[in-house]
Amino acid sequence: MNVNTLEKDIKQFVDAIDVRMDAPLADYTYTKVGGKADVLVFPRSYSEIEKIVAYTKENDVPLTILGNASNVIIRDGGLRGVVIILTKMNEVKVEDNKITAQSGAAIIDVSRVALDASLSGLEFACGIPGSIGGALYMNAGAYGGEVKDVLEQIVVITDTGERKVMTSEELELGYRTSVLQNNNYIAVEATFALEKGDQTAIKAKMDELTFLRESKQPLEYPSCGSVFQRPPGHFAGKLIMDAGLQLTRIGGVEVSGKHAGFMVNVDNGTASDYINLIKHVQKTVKEKFDVSLHREVRIIGDSKE
Ligand code: FAD
């Protein structure tokens, strides 16, 4: 793979202003860690994405999709090939009780659109910092609500560059899982079926959830949210706290003293610091309580040589 040829080729499909070479991904991730992308692209249309998918497949070039990068740790060696960030595709439309959003829209913004239109169902999402695409991929959820409850259908671009509609059932949404994790489809659009509600009540619910989030989570530091999934019968944060791991630090990353399920980048941490701290926490919790902690956060990219 020749990176200069790659740049030239990608600029045939996408405006040069939306293409960056050797781009530091730490500028885009919520953890503020991550190496560089060979070619970083911000597409603005479905057809641009389709062309990039077809090109990368034909030329055997690695392709990675990111939304708001709030649930990924990108290793310090970065990502080879093409990285697409979808945040410039962020249109949101309301029609009766339905909202259709492009996958680069922030789910927080979509929940605000729902509030403005007095539509109930997305209150749970008012503080989740991901994009619609990331929320579909993860079946994001909080405070008893999840994407699955309100999703009607999505539009994807398949790994062969074909556009198709998938119903919520076809997405097989489960606890932080969806079928998107097993194929290389790119979600480009989602339609949510909501219910007409009382705007004051919707706002009150969002204010309550925002208060809970701000009082319990270390939002003042870079992080990737809850690092681990909830193990059956337990809470990851409680196990980590009971193991005495809060404030344990490796390099610049530490287990939050405010919420033990979070790891915060307090002092120029690296992806390696995150990964080593995750392993240390998993090992300690296993030894103390015989419980395996499985990651919710995705770890991608190359290690630094
Ligand atoms: P990214 O991190 O960009 O990507 C995550 C994965 O999705 C990657 O594997 C990526 O390849 C894939 N992906 C992204 N977009 C697409 C697409 N369009 N098509 C196909 N694949 C795609 N999560 C919760 O569920 N509930 C919470 O309450 C919550 N609170 C959080 C609080 C904080 C402070 C932080 C930092 C994170 C929190 N998260 C929470 C985690 C995160 O915000 C969610 O998982 C979110 O859904 C991820 O979306 P994203 O756009 O950031 O995805």
pLDDT in tens, 268-301: 999 999 999 999 999 999 999 999 999 999 999 9
- Residue 283 burial class via C-beta count within 10 angstroms: exposed 0-12, middle 13-18, buried 19 and up: exposed
What pLDDT, in 10s, does the model give residues 161-192? 899 999 999 999 999 999 999 998 999 999 99
Task: Select 218-300's CATH number: 3.20.20.70, 3.40.50.920, 3.30.540.10, 3.90.78.10.
Answer: 3.90.78.10
Q: Which atom of ligand 1 is nearest to the CA of 224?
A: 36
Q: Directed axis angle between helix 107-116 and helix 199-216, to 10°?
A: 150
What pLDDT, in 10s, does the model give residues 5-39? 898 999 999 998 899 999 999 999 999 999 999 99
Q: Where in the chain are all domains bearing CATH 3.30.465.10?
A: 92-213
Please report the pLDDT score of residue 2 as a whole number: 81
Please report the pLDDT score of residue 160 as a whole number: 86
- Asked if residue 305 has pLDDT above 80, the reply is no
Beta bridge partners of 66: 85
pTM above 0.85, yes or no: yes
Please report the pLDDT score of residue 3 as a whole number: 83
What pLDDT, in 10s, does the model give residues 221-280? 999 999 999 999 999 999 999 999 999 999 999 999 999 999 999 999 999 999 999 999
Please report the pLDDT score of residue 233 as a whole number: 95
Beta bridge partners of 92: 101
- Tell me, rounded to whole angstroms, the distance of Cα 163 from its chain centroid: 22
Q: What is the mean pLDDT of residues 105-120?
A: 98
- What is the CB neighbour count within 10 angstroms for residue 123? 25
Q: Where in the chain are all domains bearing CATH 3.30.43.10?
A: 3-85
DSSP 275: H
Tokens of 202: 């919707």
Percentage with pLDDT > 90 across the chain: 95
Question: How close is the Cα of 174 to the center of ligand 1, in Å?
Answer: 15
- Residue 89 burial class via C-beta count within 10 angstroms: exposed 0-12, middle 13-18, buried 19 and up: buried
Annotation: CATH topology of 3-85 = 3.30.43
Question: How close is the Cα of 277 to the center of ligand 1, in Å?
Answer: 21
- Asked if residue 124 has pLDDT above 80, the reply is yes
Cα(269)–Cα(305) distance, integer angstroms = 17
Enumerate residues lining ligand 1, CB below 6 A. 30, 65-72, 86, 103, 128-131, 133-135, 137-138, 140-142, 180, 186-187, 217, 219, 223-225, 298
- Asked if residue 1 has pLDDT above 90, the reply is no
| Structure confidence at residue 89 as a pLDDT band (50, 70, 90) | very high
Q: Where in the chain are all domains bearing CATH 3.90.78.10?
A: 218-300
Annotation: CATH topology of 92-213 = 3.30.465
Q: Are 269 and 230 in contact (CB under 8 A)?
A: no
Please report the pLDDT score of residue 296 as a whole number: 96
Cα(273)–Cα(22) distance, integer angstroms = 22
Please report the pLDDT score of residue 161 as a whole number: 86
